[in-house]
Amino acid sequence: PVLTGASGESLAFGLGHVDGTAWPGAPGNLVLVGHRDSWASFMGDLRRGDALRLVYHGGAAVYDVVRIEVVQASEAWSLDRSGPDRLTLITCHPVDGVVPTHDRHVITCSSL
């Protein structure tokens, strides 16, 4: 499930939609975040060229994984609302890690 907001409370129950980013089906950058040890664990299995299908109230969208990067949590470029329609997925790095980290696993997907 995808929940509104990216608070710790929301992330305990699903992926969180980052406030101020595009909504599913709307133009812009849709940013979803999640905890690597639960709802976002699938992010470690994604590879460039993989297709993702996001089902939401009112429809569905298909995305293609185009970039996978590791960045510092302080790098806010992944939240940029400008540019082409896309989906950005963010979780802690390494995805299979258990200790706290400032690194983020960022997956950028283009809209198909």
Q: What is the CATH number of the domain that holds 8?
A: 2.40.260.10
Q: How far apart are alpha carbons 91 and 4 in whole angstroms? A: 16
**Rounded mean pLDDT of 1-17?**
90
Q: How big is the chain by its Cα radius of gyration, in Å?
A: 13
Grade residue 80 by pLDDT with cuts at 50, 70 and 90. confident
pLDDT in tens, 37-67: 898 889 999 999 999 999 988 889 999 999 9
3-state secondary structure of 8: helix
| Stretch (H or E) spanning 15 | strand 15-17
Domain span at residue 48 reads: 2-111
The structure's pTM equals: 0.90
Residues 85-95 have a mean pLDDT of 91
CB proximity list for 80: less than 8 A, separation 6 or greater: 29
- Cα distances (angstroms) measured from residue 2 to each of 5, 79, 95, 99: 9, 17, 19, 25
**Count of domains for the chain:** 1
Q: Average pLDDT of the chain? A: 90
Residue 49 CA to residue 91 CA, distance in Å, equals 19
pLDDT in the model for residue 74: 85
